Amino acid sequence: MIEVGAKAPDFSLPDHTGQLVSLSDFAGKRLLIAFYPLDFSPVCTDQLAAYQEIGPQLDDAGVTLVGISVDSAFAHKAFRDQMGVETTLLADFEPKGAVADAYGAYLADAGHSNRSLVLIDAAGKVEWVYETETPLDIPSPSAILEAI
């Protein structure tokens, strides 16, 4: 995983609507990136739903949450629509997993990222990281609340 204090690697990825979203869009703000393996898996659905529940606390702390996986923008849109997910989802689709890899969250053997959280401060530095031991584990919302 990327180290706390490191400059966050830049990225520009399409969101679930096809619009490009870049790290620079969050300049002067705190950003929480939730790397997750794939849309439409039960664990991913639970993870994003749990994070939606702490949305007000994230807002109060001035933190914007985005999810990043190797799925396409089209899959993200379908996932959001079907599952009622409100979080902005970014497609690390091509080259597959490049952003997750830059942050140290990509599992090359599996072809997707691990469940990892990266909090970036308003100056673009990594403020906090959390990585699960396995993609089957969900980083708890309480860990996020403690970090912010």
CA distances from 118 to 31, 74, 99 (A): 8, 24, 12
Note the maximum CA span of the chain: 38
109 φ/ψ angles, rounded to the nearest 5 degrees: -65, -30
Give yes or no: 110 in active site: no
Put residue 84 in one of left, alpha, beta given phi > 0 → left and psi -120 to 50 → alpha: left
The one-character DSSP state at 144 is H
Q: Pick the catalytic residue: 44, 58, 89, 105?
A: 44
Q: Which residues are catalytic?
A: 44
